[in-house]
Structure 1
């Protein structure tokens, strides 16, 4: 789905999916208010809170805007199917528009690729959505081996 006029498209790797979920990389101090302004009701953070680019006290900043918060810390070098299942549970339980982010939007797009495939989205379509931001299956970058393993392709 294309962006909406009020989308904060300058947030790192901002995306709006056809299912209404928005995704991005890191959030900055003014972003919780911007997310509230477009109607986001819940944020899921897949990044580690000790990352140098993490928003300090993110949950508190979001709560001040009336936005719920779930933190599922996913080590970039050790993503698991349990992390994906935790995201799936949150997405199933949360009512209202959801924003999912990490630092670069890499974890998010890979996890949503897996959830799309579980939901019956054709491989090519799910892969194209993921590749808009990052395609670890086609990359030889260092650090992609655990992602290839998670996504079902040997590293």
Structure 2
């Protein structure tokens, strides 16, 4: 798993990464993941054509929440959180092109849903990605503002 682009294990039920290669979806399935959520646009440079079919043919569920990297919206984040909460105890793999979108969304998910203490959040992705002001503001969103979205 560690060879998958920018892999981060959040907990026993959630892992994240950049775009997995087709053959890496087999590894993800073999590790017991039941759901794949893709936050990248379908025209990302490393996107897999028909990723939904690749994933569902392996017996996993697939959700695509395309988030424009240049213009992420609070409504995208709200949808992501709602989908994550609806999945309950399913084992979930969340990815985007490089694990940047996912890391920003997971930061908010940690804060409001998992209630992870800040010092326990894996922030290693931010060693290679410095979120611009738009992403920083999204990561600072309050729960009240999120649910207005």
TM-score by length of 2: 0.84
Moved over 6 A (4+): none
User: What secondary structure sits across from 1:49 in the alignment?
Assistant: coil
Change (3 A) 1:152 1:96: closer
> Is 1:115 aligned with 2:115?
no
5+ residue gaps, structure 1: 1-7
Choose from 71, 76, 80 the match for 2:69. 76
The structure, 1 or 2, with the larger RCO (C-alpha pairs under 8 Å, 6+ apart) is: 2
Structure that is richer in helix per residue: 2
TM-score by length of 1: 0.81
What is residue 3 of structure 1 aligned with on the other side? none
Change (3 A) 1:75 1:97: same
- Count of aligned residue pairs for this structure pair: 139
1:6-155 equivalent positions in 2, closer than 5 A: 8-94=1-87, 95-119=89-113, 120-126=115-121, 129=122, 131-134=123-126, 139=130, 144-152=132-140
5+ residue gaps, structure 2: 142-149
